[in-house]
C-alpha cells in the first residue's frame, strides 16, 4: 500500500501548537474539556478510516530500511533514478547535526545506521567531500569504522566487495534440517529472525560479490587493515564457546560435502517459497522480503519468475511518499520534492482493533456504521490455516489474527487479544459469525500459552538461551519469550470472555504478579517501556478481579504518580531499555500523547479518576491536542527490539489518547462478558 502524506498536516513534520477548541482549550470544567477533546479526536479518527473498514497509520522506524531497499535494488540491477532521489531526500532529512543517524527521534547516533545511510547517499550521488558526508564519515571512523558495525551491516557491504565474506560469522544452510528438539534449530528463533536467517544462510553460503560503484575507504580507520584481528574470549565462557563454534563452521565450509550443501540450499529455497504470502511478501515485514529475494536470485530465480516478480512488487507496498522533505538535519535539501520512506512493516489489524476500541470507549454507538465496517474487515482477516506456530502446537486448530494485511503464517497473541476485545464492543448484524470467530480465537489463545503460564507474541515457549549468543545475531532480540504486556492483553481478553476463574488465567495472573518490578512497574516488551507495561498490566489485573486496594495495584499507582512530568503528562525515553540505564530512564522522558494515555488507562482502571494525577494527565491531553483533533508525537513509543529497533506508530498518538479520554468520561472499558 503506497500512501501519500502532506507533511503540512503534522503526520511527520512539526505541527502548530494546539489551541482553539470551542470556547478555548482551558474553558469549562475538566470533564467539559475532555468531552470536547474526545469529540474532536473521534471526528479525526473517523475521517481516517479506509472505505474497506480498516485504519493504518504510518509505521516509521529508521533509515536502514530505506538504505537497504536501495542496496537491494542496486544488487538486483533494478535501482532507478526516481526511487533513489526520493529515498535520498528522506535519508538526508533524518541526519543529525553531528553527521550521524539515530534509530529513534532524539536518540544518539548509531554506528551501523550511520554507515548504511552514508552508503545510500553515496549511491544517490552525494560526494564524500560534501560537508554532511564528511561529518558522517569522520564520526564513523571515531567509533571504530566498519569493523565495529553489526553483522547485518557488514553483510550488505560484503555483497559489493566492501567487506570480506571470510570475516563474517557463518550460518550454514544445513541448519534447515535440524529437528525441532535440536539446539539452534530454526524454530528456536523468533519468527522475525527465522524468516531472515533462513535466506541469509543461502546468501552467506553463496558469498556473492557485485562490482561496487565506488570505494568506502573513508569509513575505515585503516583502509589497509579494515578488520584487525581480535583476541578470543575464554573458552570456558559462552562467548568463547560460540566464537570457537563459528571457527568450526568456517572449517566445515571448506571440507563439508558439496552435494550436502546443494541439497540444503534446495531445502532452504523450498522453505522460503512456501512462506511467501499471497501478495508476494514474506511475513508482512520488509527485511525477510529483502533477503529472500536476494537468496532466490542467487539460487537461479530470474527476476521475471512469478515468485520474484510478486516479491519485488510487494516492496512497493511498504512505501510512503511525502510531498515535501521533512527537512531535519543533513544538507537540509529544500522542501518541494517528494521524499520516500520505507516502512519495515504495516499495522492495519493492530491499528483497526485499537481504533475500534478507542471509538467505542469514547461513546460512539456500538452499531455505528464505522464500527460495524471495521468489525466486518477484522472478521475477514482471521487466520484459519496453520503456520509456523503449529510446529510446537501441532494439534491446535488455528484462529488468531496477524498484524499485517497479509501474513497467514504468523498470527500473534497480542493482535488476537485486542481484536476480540474490539469485536465485543460492536453490535454486529451477524452475531453468530462474531461468536464463532471469538470461540476460535479463545481456543487458539489458550493453546498458545507457554509452560510458565504467560504468552509470547508469536510462539509458545520460544525462549531458548542459545540464539542470542551466536556471533551472527548481534542485532536485536532473536527469540520471543513471554512478556508482561502480551500476557496482560491475553488475560484482559480471556476475562472479558468469562474465563476469569479458568486455572490457566489464574496462572497467568500469578505470573504477572511475580514479574512486577520492585518499584511497582512492569517491563514493556512491545511498547516503551515501563509506562507501557504498567499501562497494560493494571487494567488486566483489575479485569481479573484484583481490587484496586491490592498491593500490586497500589505499587503501580504509586510508581506512575512518581514519574509523572511536571507538565502533567508522562513520557519515557528508549534509553530505559539500554543495559545499565534502566533505572535512570524508567518512566522518564518528554511527555507524549500515547504514553500519557497508557498511564491514564492504568490509573483509571485502578479507580483513580478523581486523583490529582489523572486530572493533570487529562488536562495535558486536552491542552496539547491540535485543532484538527490529533496530537503531535515525533517520539518513538513502539518497540521492535528493545533498544536496538524502535517504532513510531503514527496512529498511537490518536487511538490511545482517545481511549483514555473515553474511559475518563464513560468508565474504564473493562468488564466481563457476563457484565455486558
CA distance 190 to 47: 36
Cβ-based burial of 469 (10 A; exposed 0-12, middle 13-18, buried ≥19): middle
CA distance 326 to 264: 46
Which residues on neighbouring strands pair with residue 60, listed in sequence order? 648
Q: Which residues have a Cβ under 8 Å from the Cβ of 179 and sit 6 or more positions away?
A: 185
DSSP string, 447-472: HT--TTS---SSSSSB--SSGGGSTT
CA distance 538 to 541: 5
Residue 665 vs residues 25, 413, 628: alpha-carbon distances, Å:
17, 29, 21
CA dihedral angle for residue 524, residue 529, residue 532, residue 538, rounded to 10 degrees: 60
Q: Do 273 and 298 touch, CB atoms closer than 8 A?
A: no
Within the chain, what is the greatest distance between any pair of CA atoms? Answer: 79
Annotated active-site residue 167? The verdict is: no
Residue 572, all three cell numbers? 519515557
Q: Do 195 and 277 touch, CB atoms closer than 8 A?
A: no
CA distance 477 to 148: 19
CA distance 302 to 325: 35
Q: Which residues have a Cβ under 8 Å from the Cβ of 302 and sit 6 or more positions away?
A: 308
Determine which one of 188, 414, 480, 573 is catalytic. Answer: 414
CA distance 292 to 284: 13
Residue 548, all three cell numbers? 484496586
The catalytic residues are: 414
Amino acid at each position: 500500500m503506497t500512501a501519500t502524506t502532506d507533511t503540512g498536516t503534522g503526520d511527520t513534520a512539526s505541527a502548530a501548537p494546539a489551541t482553539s477548541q470551542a470556547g478555548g482549550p482551558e474553558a469549562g470544567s475538566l470533564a467539559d474539556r475532555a468531552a470536547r477533546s474526545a469529540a474532536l479526536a473521534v471526528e479525526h479518527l473517523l475521517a481516517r478510516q479506509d472505505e474497506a473498514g480498516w485504519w493504518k497509520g504510518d509505521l516509521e522506524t529508521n533509515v536502514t530500511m530505506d538504505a537497504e531497499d536501495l542496496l537491494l535494488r542496486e544488487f538486483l540491477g533494478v535501482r532507478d533514478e526516481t526511487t533513489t532521489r526520493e529515498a535520498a531526500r528522506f535519508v538526508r532529512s533524518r541526519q543529525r547535526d553531528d553527521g550521524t543517524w539515530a534509530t529513534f527521534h532524539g536518540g544518539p547516533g548509531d554506528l551501523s545506521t550511520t554507515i548504511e545511510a552514508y552508503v545510500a547517499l553515496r549511491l544517490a550521488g552525494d560526494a564524500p567531500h560534501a560537508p554532511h558526508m564528511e561529518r558522517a564519515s569522520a564520526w564513523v571512523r571515531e567509533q571504530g569504522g566498519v569493523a565495529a558495525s553489526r553483522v547485518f551491516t557488514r553483510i550488505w557491504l560484503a555483497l559489493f566487495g566492501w567487506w570480506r565474506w571470510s570475516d563474517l560469522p557463518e550460518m550454514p544452510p544445513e541448519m534447515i534440517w535440524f529437528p525441532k528438539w535440536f539446539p539452534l534449530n530454526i524454530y528456536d528463533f523468533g519468527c522475525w529472525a527465522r524468516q531472515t536467517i533462513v535466506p541469509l544462510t543461502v546468501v552467506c553460503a553463496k558469498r556473492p560479490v557485485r562490482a561496487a560503484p565506488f570505494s568506502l575507504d573513508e569509513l575505515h580507520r585503516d583502509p589497509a587493515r579494515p578488520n584487525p584481528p581480535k583476541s578470543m574470549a575464554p573458552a570456558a565462557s559462552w562467548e568463547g564457546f560460540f566464537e570457537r563454534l563459528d571457527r568450526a563452521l568456517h572449517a566445515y565450509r571448506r571440507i563439508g560435502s558439496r552435494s550436502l550443501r546443494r541439497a540444503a540450499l534446495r531445502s532452504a529455497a523450498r522453505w522460503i517459497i512456501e512462506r511467501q504470502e499471497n501478495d508476494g511478501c514474506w511475513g508482512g515485514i520488509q527485511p525477510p522480503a529483502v533477503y529472500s529475494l536476494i537468496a532466490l536470485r542467487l539460487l537461479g530465480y530470474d527476476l521475471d519468475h512469478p515468485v520474484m516478480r510478486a516479491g519485488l512488487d510487494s516492496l512497493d507496498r511498504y512505501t510512503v511518499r511525502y510531498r515535501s522533505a521533512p527537512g531535519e538535519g543533513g544538507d537540509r535539501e529544500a522542501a518541494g520534492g517528494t521524499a520516500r520512506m520505507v516502512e519495515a512493516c504495516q499495522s492495519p489489524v493492530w491499528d483497526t482493533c485499537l481504533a475500534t476500541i478507542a471509538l467505542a470507549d469514547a461513546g460512539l454507538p456500538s452499531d455505528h456504521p464505522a464500527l460495524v465496517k471495521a468489525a466486518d474487515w477484522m472478521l475477514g482477516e482471521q487466520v484459519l490455516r496453520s503456520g509456523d506456530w503449529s510446529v510446537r502446537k501441532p494439534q491446535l486448530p488455528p484462529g488468531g489474527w496477524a498484524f499485517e494485511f497479509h501474513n497467514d503464517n504468523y498470527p500473534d497473541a497480542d493482535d488476537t487479544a485486542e481484536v476480540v476485545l474490539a469485536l465485543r464492543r460492536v453490535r454486529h448484524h451477524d452475531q453468530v459469525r462474531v461468536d464463532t470467530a471469538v470461540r476460535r480465537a479463545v481456543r487458539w489463545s489458550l493453546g498458545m500459552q507457554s509452560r510458565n503460564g504467560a504468552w509470547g507474541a508469536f510462539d509458545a515457549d520460544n525462549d531458548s538461551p542459545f540464539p542470542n549468543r551466536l556471533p551472527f545475531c548481534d542485532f536485536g532480540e532473536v527469540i520471543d519469550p513471554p512478556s508482561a504486556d502480551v500476557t496482560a492483553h491475553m488475560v484482559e481478553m480471556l476475562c472479558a470472555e468469562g474465563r476469569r476463574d479458568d486455572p490457566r488465567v489464574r496462572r497467568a495472573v500469578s505470573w504477572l504478579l511475580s514479574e512486577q518490578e520492585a518499584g511497582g512497574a512492569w517491563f514493556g516488551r512491545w511498547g516503551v517501556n515501563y509506562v507501557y507495561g504498567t499501562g497494560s498490566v493494571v487494567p488486566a489485573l483489575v479485569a481479573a478481579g484484583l481490587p484496586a486496594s491490592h498491593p500490586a495495584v497500589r505499587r503501580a499507582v504509586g510508581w506512575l504518580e512518581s514519574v509523572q512530568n511536571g507538565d502533567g503528562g508522562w513520557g519515557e525515553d528508549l534509553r530505559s531499555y539500554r543495559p545499565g540505564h534502566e533505572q535512570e530512564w524508567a518512566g522518564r522522558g518528554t511527555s507524549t500523547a500515547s504514553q500519557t494515555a497508557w498511564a491514564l488507562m492504568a490509573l483509571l482502571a485502578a479507580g483513580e479518576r478523581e486523583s490529582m494525577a489523572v486530572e493533570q494527565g487529562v488536562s495535558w491531553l486536552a491542552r496539547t491536542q491540535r485543532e484538527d483533533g490529533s496530537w503531535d508525537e515525533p517520539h518513538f513509543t513502539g518497540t521492535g527490539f528493545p533498544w536496538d529497533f524502535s517504532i513510531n506508530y503514527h496512529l498511537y498518538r490518536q487511538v490511545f489518547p482517545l481511549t483514555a479520554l473515553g474511559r475518563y468520561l464513560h468508565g474504564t472499558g473493562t468488564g466481563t462478558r457476563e457484565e455486558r
